[in-house]
Amino acid sequence: MATFVDGPARVSVPATSANLGPGFDAFGLALSLRDELEAEVLTEGLVVDVAGAGADGVPRDETHLVVRAMRAAFELMGEQPPGLRLSCRNVIPHARGLGSSSAAIVAGVVLARGLVAGGQLLASDEALFDLAADLEGHPDNVAAAFYGGFVISGREADRWFAVRAGVDPRITAVVFVPPDGVETTVARGLLPDLVPHAEAAANSGRAALLVAAITGQPEHLLAATRDWLHQDQREPAMPKTLELVRSLRADGVPAVVSGAGPTVLAFGSADTTDLLARCPRGWTPHELSIDVEGARLT
């Protein structure tokens, strides 16, 4: 039987950007924009407090995504607590392609383990990542949120895998967040069932180049972030997003749709002044670094 710790557990979890152009459903990058959560075992009941991004649109009961993730992790470790208090301070925008749902899931499983005495022995990092990816349904954002940095992930022989790769310290990121979101299910619904072989081959080559560019040769980022599989196909749901991506790329800026959109991620360098000035009216820019830590108990 699991034994619960006295007092709260606190976790910090980063925003993430998936795909990065050609790495569809495989590449994830953690960014220095973090949600902060706290949880504590109670003698009974459930108390959920949410402030910040998305606070008006999320439930305060067992259907809250963090609570669902915590319940799944407690089940993995063999015991449910009699009651829970959860407090969320959200910074990651919701429905913008910055991994808010993956952050919630990863925060939930890490918090649950932090509330169990000897939780590391009952649920390894690999087991928690597997659970989080199962809950999300795909691993790219979850892997980056859990492990931090640049992560290549997927599924092999009925198991999820996640492999971290280095990030060149010269690389920074600017994200341009539009005022209105696009649900991932809508964005995925626009993707075709089949793509031409030549485009798939071209995309594979650019994805390979992107690994080299991010890990140590950022001068190749513009060519490496070219995509054939998903960005143009999603234009009907986010025309202003694709307009900004094309405008930036035409001027030599390695810009991509962040995840399922509609946020735009642009890779930068030490001086991003000119890049920040490209933010469309009504959008919100964030100048970020690559977050190499991932989810952590604080």
Angle at 181 between CA 179 and CA 182, to 5 degrees: 150
* 99 among annotated binding-site residues: yes
Stretch (H or E) spanning 208: helix 197-215
Q: Which residues contact 66 (CB under 8 A, 6 or more apart)?
A: 37, 86, 88, 104, 105, 107, 108, 111
Strand 23-42 with 9-19, pairing: antiparallel
- Alpha carbon of residue 67 to chain centroid: 18
Candidates 17, 286, 12; CA nearest to 141 is 17
* 17 among annotated binding-site residues: no
User: How far is Cα 216 from Cα 105, in angstroms, rounded to an integer?
Assistant: 31
Residue type, 144: A
* 84 among annotated binding-site residues: no
* 205 among annotated binding-site residues: no
The two structure tokens encoding residue 96: 């913008």
* 159 among annotated binding-site residues: no
- C-alpha distances (whole Å) from 66 to each of 24, 38, 63 are 25, 11, 8
- C-alpha distances (whole Å) from 272 to each of 32, 92, 173, 210 are 16, 21, 9, 21
The two structure tokens encoding residue 16: 């993430």
* 98 among annotated binding-site residues: yes
Residue appearing with tokens 């992790």 = 73
Residues 103 and 145: beta-carbon distance below 8 Å: yes
* 102 among annotated binding-site residues: yes
- Alpha carbon of residue 171 to chain centroid: 18
Candidates 294, 297, 298; CA nearest to 16 is 294
Residue type, 127: A
User: How far is Cα 247 from Cα 280, in angstroms, rounded to an integer?
Assistant: 11
* 96 among annotated binding-site residues: yes
* 200 among annotated binding-site residues: no
Output the known binding site for ATP.
93-103
Output the known binding site.
93-103
